Amino acid sequence: MHIFRDRPLALGACVMALTAVLAQAAPGRLRLVLSALCLLSSMICVTVGLLKKRLGRIASVCTLCLISAAVAWLGSWFFFSCRTGIFSERVGEELTVEGYVAERLNAAPHQSRFRVELSEIDGERSSGRVLLECDYLSSLQPGEVFRLTGRVRAPENTAAYPEETVLYADGYIGILCCEDSRSCTVYPEPVQTVELLLKKWNLRLCDRLQAVIGGEAGALAGALLLGNRSMLSDDTVLSFRRAGISHILALSGLHVSVLIGVLELLLRLLGLPRRLRAFLIPPAALFYFGLTGCAPSTFRAVVMTCVLYLGLLFLEQYDSFTALCAALMLLLTVTPYAVLDVSLWLSFTAASAIVLFMPAATGLFSGQRWKYRPRWISRLLRTLVTALAVGLFSNAAILPLLALFFGSSSVFSVPATLLLSPLLTLTLVLPALVLLFPAFPPAVFLAENSLRLMLAVAGWFSGIPNGTVLLDGWLQTVLLLLLALSLILCAVLRLRRRGWLMLPLALSVVVLAAGSADVLPRGKGICVTYLREEENEALLLSYWKNAVAVDFSDGSVSIGQSLREALTSARCTELRELVFTHYHSKMSYLIASLSADTQIFALRLPDPINEKEQAIAARLEQEAGLHGIPVIYGGGALALPGAELLACRRTDTEAVEVPVLLMLRINRQIVTYLGAGAVQSDWADIAQNAVLSSDVLIFGRHGTQPGTQPLSLRLPEHAELLLFGCRELMNALPAVPESAQILQEVEYHRFFLK
C-alpha cells in the first residue's frame, strides 16, 4: 500500500485504531482473550525469526501490528471492563467515597456538578475519575479533599445526547449522586497536583485577558490562546458551529504551529543556534499542552512538533504521517477511552488528509506555466491555492464522520476558514503580547479589534439562512460512501495521475450540493408535530427547513430536548419563531437551553395582562437580548407561508398552570389547542365558538385537570382530527364526531396540513 510503504509505525497505529474501535463494543472476556492471542502470535513471529537468525521485514511489520492490537485490546479491557465495572455493576447502590475535586462543571440553577478524582471507595483503595452530582448548591472548590455518601446513577442515553458515550470519552468511570449536604465532609488540607496548578495558571491568564481586553472578545482570546472556553457564551459557540468553524475554537496544529513559529523566531533573534532551539522548543510545547488542558488535537500537534525538532536535533529524516500516527498510537495507549472521542477522529482524519493529499495541490505549481510569471504573483497564487486545498481536503475527509456523528454540516466551512485563517494568527500573537505587556495600548487595541472582527465574521456566516445542510438522506448516504471509498483508494493506491486526487473534492461538493437541494418544497404542506413530556406540551410547525415552535409548558428543559429532537426529525436546522402561550418564571431557562443548540430568529410573547406577567416579560426580553433574539408581542402572521396566530387566550389567575386557548390558521384550516382547564364550565362559552370553527382540535393536559362531570362542549361535525392528551377529556365530552380521526393519550404525533 502506498501510504504504508516504508512506514511500519503508521501501519501499526492504524491497526491499533481499528482494534480500539472494535474493542470498545466487545464483551469483557473477549477483549482479554484476543489480547492474549495477539501477544502469543507476536511471540511466535519473533521466535520463528530468531530461529531463522533473521527477523525479516514482513515478520517485523506483523509483530508490530500484533503488539499494537494486543495493547488496544488490553487497554480497552482495563478501562471498559475493570475501571467502569466498579460503578456499572452497582447502579442504585450507595457508596462512601473519598477523593478531591478536580474541576467544577456547569449545572442546573439548583444543582452542582464536579469532576472528581477518587482515592477510596467503601474503605478500599481505588482510583478513577467520577462525575459527582449534588442536588444542592455545593461550595466545593477544586483541590478540596472530601468524603461523602452517594448513590450510583446509570447514564441516561438519548438519541440527542448519549450520556454514557460522552462520559466514557472524557475518562469518567461512573456517576455519583449526593442528595444531602450533611453527608459530605470536607477536610481542611487541600491537595496540590500539577494538573490543578496548571489549571489555576490557565484561569489566571484568562482572567487577565478578560480584564484587559474585556467582553466576548476577551473570552474568545482565552479560548483561542489558552483553550479555555468556559467564558464563551453559548451564542458564540453556536455561531462558530453553524458557520462550520468550530475547529478554530479547538486548539490544533494551526494554533500550535503559529505559536511555535513565533517562539522559534524569537529564539532566532536572540542568536541561539539551531540545535539549542531544537532542544528548547519540545519542552515549551509540552508545557503549553499541559497548560491548555491536554486536548487530543493539541496532543497530536505537540507530539508532531516534538518529533520534528527531535529529528532535527539528531539529524534524522522527518515524516509527517509517521509522526501523526505515532501521536495516535501514544494517545490510545495512555487513554484507551479516547477512542469514543469524536474530536479525536475529526482532528486526526483532517490532519491525515492534509498530510497525504497536499502534494496534489503543490504539484499544480510545477511545470513551465509558472516559469515566466512574476515571482510575487506566483507566490501569492501558491499561498491561496495551498490554503484552499487544505480547507477542501480536510473538509472532504471529515464529511463522512460529520454525517455519522452529527448528521449535518455547514456549506460555509471552507470559505469561513479561509477568511479567518490569516486573522487567527493575529488573534493568537496579539493576546500573547497582551499577556506579556498588558500596559501596551497598541497591542490591546489591535487584539480587541481583531477578535471582534472574528466574532462578527462568525456571526455573519451563522446568520445566513439554510447554511446547515443535513446529510441523512439516501442520496447523501450513497455519495458519502463513494467519498469515503475514493479517499481510501487515493490514499492506499499508487496513482500515476494526480488528477485522480481531485475526485474526493468533487464528491464532497456534490454531497453538499445534494444537501442544499433539500430546501426545495416537498409538496406535503406544513407539518404539525404535537409533543408531550408528562404535563409539558408543545407544537412544532415545519415547512422546508423553517420551523415555528409553540410552547405550552412551564419552561422545563425536558420539553426543550423534545423540541430539538423534533427539529432534527423534521429536517430543520433553525427555529424561525419561538411562541410562548403564557408566562412562567422558568421560561428563561428554556430560551437559554434552546439557544445553546438552535438558532432562534424571533421570540413571540402574549400581551401581559397583569403586573406579574409584565415582570416576567421584562425578564424574558432581557434573556432574549443576551442571545440576540428580537421579541414580538401579540398575534399575527408567523414565519411560515400561510400560517397565522389568530388568538392566544388565558385566564387572569395566580395559578401555576394557567388554562390556555390557542387558535392557528394554517392555509385554510383552523388548528385549536385547548388546555385541560380551558374546557371547564366557566370557559365553555369562550371556547365554544373557537371549537366549532376548527378543523383540528388538540385537547391538552396543560392547566387544571378536568373533573369527572360531563362537559357541555359541542364538537364540530367537519373536524378532521381530534387529539387528546388525556383520556379523561374524551370521556367527559357528550359526543365525538365519527368521521374524525381520534387519538388518545398521545405523546408524539405528526400530521400535514396542505
> What does the pLDDT read at residue 268?
87
pLDDT at 52: 67
Q: Is the distance from CB of 680 to CB of 653 less than 8 angstroms?
A: no
Distance between CA atoms of 700 and 709, rounded to whole angstroms?
A: 18
Whole-model pTM: value is 0.82
Residue 23: which H helix or E strand, with range?
helix 8-23
Which amino acid type is present at position 19?
Answer: T
Q: How far apart are CA 418 and CA 525, in angstroms?
A: 39
Q: Kindly state the cell numbers that stand for 712.
A: 357541555
* Nearby residues of 297 by Cβ (< 8 Å), 6 or more positions away: 250, 251, 252, 253, 343, 344, 347
At 520 the pLDDT is 45
**Cα 327–Cα 329–Cα 331 angle in degrees, nearest 5:** 65
Structure-block grid coordinates of residue 29: 472476556
The CATH classification of domain 526-753, taken from the options 3.60.15.10, 3.90.1150.10, 3.30.70.140, 3.30.830.10 = 3.60.15.10
Sign of CA dihedral 734, 740, 745, 746: negative
Taking only the tens place, the pLDDT of each residue in 226-255 is 988 888 888 888 888 888 888 888 888 888
User: What local confidence, expressed as pLDDT, does residue 519 receive?
Assistant: 45
3-state secondary structure 650-680: ECCCCCCCCCEEEEEEECCEEEEEECHHHHC
507-554 residue pLDDT tens: 888 888 877 765 444 556 788 899 888 778 889 998 877 899 999 887
Domain limits of the chain?
8-83, 86-191, 199-356+426-468, 357-411+473-520, 526-753
What the block records as the C-alpha cell of 317 is 529524516
Strand partners, 172: 129
The whole-chain average pLDDT of the chain stands at 82
- pLDDT tens by residue, 650-681: 765 555 566 788 889 988 888 888 877 666 54
State the CB neighbour count (10 A cutoff) for residue 225.
25
Tell me the residue ranges of DSSP E strands in 501-606. 526-533, 536-543, 546-551, 574-575, 577-580, 599-600, 603-605
Residues of the chain scoring pLDDT < 50: 1, 519-521, 681, 708
* Sheet containing 536-543: order of strands: 631-633, 603-605, 577-580, 546-551, 536-543, 526-533, 748-753
Helix (H, G, I), strand (E, B) or coil at 648: strand
Q: Which fold, 86-191?
A: OB fold (Dihydrolipoamide Acetyltransferase, E2P) (2.40.50)
Q: Which of 236, 252, 230 is nearest to 455 (CA)?
A: 236
Beta-strand runs (E) in 354-416 = 408-410
Backbone angles phi, psi at 577, to 5 degrees: -145, 145
Residue 152 pLDDT: 92
C-alpha span between 227 and 291 (Å, rounded): 9
Q: Which residues contact 32 (CB under 8 A, 6 or more apart)?
A: 73, 74, 77, 81
Other C-beta atoms closer than 10 Å to the C-beta of 661 total 23
Quick count: other Cβ atoms within 10 Å of Cβ 274?
13
Contact yes or no for 722/729 (Cβ under 8 A) = no
Task: List the helix and strand counts (H, then E) for the chain.
Answer: 24, 24
Say if residues 470 and 571 touch (Cβ distance below 8 Å): yes
